[in-house]
A and B are shown apart, each in its own frame.
Chain A
Amino acid sequence: NAGVTQTPKFRILKIGQSMTLQCAQDMNHNYMYWYRQDPGMGLKLIYYSVGAGITDKGEVPNGYNVSRSTTEDFPLRLELAAPSQTSVYFCASRAPLAGVYEQYFGPGTRLTVT
């Protein structure tokens, strides 16, 4: 298993540009999550999904959109990028099994908006 994969690893955007951060997992996990990590801070939840076709907002959803058309993929869309969105973005997934609660994280995407 490749686990949770994210592309790209790094990206520089100009203010106002848009982009999609890709996330995929091959573990058949129902639950998927997007977090952002600002410098020197912990992670904050942007959006999450409990299965294909079902998404919901987390703590900091403004400026982002998500979709979940398949179990494997959970892309995060940034529209009209702003400097405040400079961060490291982590995607995570969790098994659907009862009693299994740990999330497994991808390697992250470092985004700079200038």
Chain B
Amino acid sequence: AQKVTQAQTEISVVEKEDVTLDCVYETRDTTYYLFWYKQPPSGELVFLIRRNSFDEQNEISGRYSWNFQKSTSSFNFTITASQVVDSAVYFCALSGIIQGAQKLVFGQGTRLTINP
């Protein structure tokens, strides 16, 4: 069975601090995909990044960066120089592919609060 654990339920930092959100996953699939989604206070889900199991390169997009390590089954997300607009709930998710479909398994989410 697939499982995603986001051990940090809530994080609160002061603006401009760096913050890392942890994600640990479990799967028996050799091919799988990892995702991060952002859920701002307005409630919608915003796709941030996708990574497949064969691509362990870290990725940077502006102030966001992701560290994928298969050896520790982790896919951590770092926000550099955080801003108040980064306040949201962040979800890590995992999927395999079954008959062309994709079933996402979500972690419980980390509520990030950036204080001015």
A contacts, CB < 8 Å to B: 31, 33, 35, 40-45, 48, 50, 56, 58-59, 88, 90, 92, 94, 101-108
Contacts and interface: CB of A to CB of B under 8 A. Distances in A.
Interface of B: 4, 6, 33, 35, 37, 43-45, 47, 50, 52, 91, 93, 95, 97, 99-109
B68 to A, nearest CB: 15
A107 B101 contact: no
Contacts of B109: 40-42
Nearest to A30: B100
A88 B43 contact: yes
A78 B111 CA distance: 30
Contact of A94 (B6, B45, B93, B102): B102
A40 to B, nearest CB: 7
B47 A50 contact: no
Nearest to B52: A101
Given A42-B106, A44-B106, A101-B50, A107 B100 contact: no
B44 A107 contact: yes
